[in-house]
Amino acid sequence: MWSKKDLKYMRRALRLGEKGLGYTTPNPAVGAVVARQGMILGEGRHQKAGTPHAEVHALRAAGDAARGADIYVTLEPCNHTGRTPPCTHAILQAGIRRVVIGTLDPNPKVAGGGTEFLRDKGIKVETGCLRDECRLLIAPFTKHILTGMPWVRSKVACSLDGRTATRTGHSKWITNQQARRSGHCLREISDAILVGKGTIVADDPQLTCRKGKKAVKDPIRVVLDSGLSVDPSSRICCLKSSAPTVIIGVEGKSTDEHRQALEASGTKVWFTRPDGQGRVNIRDVLRMLGAFGVQSILVEGGATVHGTFWDHTFVDEAFFYYAPLVIGGKDARPAIGGSGAVDVGRAIKLSKMQHHKLGDNWLVRGLITDIDSFWS
């Protein structure tokens, strides 16, 4: 049983860790808090690969006061030397009395190593505080390191009856500004954003991350385009950004001239084998992006793209933004296309449901993937 103080400090460590989502790849997002006698002495988070880990930031902030204190960390401290020294050594040298860990490292090559080292040195170590929340924080890292595939988030903004546009295609704006701002936060925490060619043709979007005047990173922009027909002059191809645009087509369904025109604009062009319907093979896409170092993808495409991901159960986590509208009409655009379930018993079930009010809109969030299965 965890004390109220333990839960309080681990929740604070989680909030700190969440600030690193989207910025720490290929490392996991981690937060840490040093506390003693009801006071936070220091706190920190991992900010970027190659820089000090969360524990080191927290210990530096605490200084000499860390001696005899407790440290709360969302992920088991590392016990190996990579681009930075082992965090276990920093904890030992700081004189920490007790280490509270949210979850063990999912990497089977190092899991338990940090815990074992600290215990061998006489430091009290307790694991599993807010374990589910801590595992969710590092879900993209966990899936990628164990499978080579990215964590897939599906994001939909729709009316109460599940429509993303009217029968004429009008969709701006179904959801309110708060919901749209939340959607941009999802872009910020994702390594890549994925849409289909139809979205590019209809909206000519930039697919950047916009949060007012705050400088944030852009995700890699991925477009599924079987015939490689996206106009090289589209905004997504001409955008000046630190993140690349990747257009993925099907082998043998495009001309060298068009590929060269896209590449001349600075766009990366990849190809997959055709799937059963002659379209881009999504499994190949996920493998290629995983090999490219992408740990998380936000799917923002239309009904066809979403339908393909849902039909093949490639979605790990879902975000549905609902507006208090009923669009109606059999020809209005649905949120999810594809074949769908043949009966209710085979419908995809979500777990760990969360509901958040955004003005007069609602965000409904849930998991499809059982995160605990990565540790079993």
Count of other CB atoms within 10 angstroms of residue 162: 17
Nearest CA to 89 out of 78, 76, 74 is that of 78
Give the dihedral sign, CA 141/142/148/153.
negative
Tokens 């655009």 belong to residue:
333
User: d(Cα 191, Cα 143) in Å, to the nearest integer?
Assistant: 14
User: d(Cα 287, Cα 148) in Å, to the nearest integer?
Assistant: 7
Strands (E), 230-310: 245-250, 268-272, 296-299
- Partnered with residue 55 across adjacent β-strands are none
Nearest CA to 153 out of 349, 368, 370, 335 is that of 368
Active-site choice (55, 76, 300, 317): 55
Quote the tokens at residue 304: 């066809």
Whether 18 sits among the annotated catalytic residues: the reply is no
How many helices (H) and strands (E) in the chain?
12, 16
Task: List residues with catalytic annotation.
Answer: 55
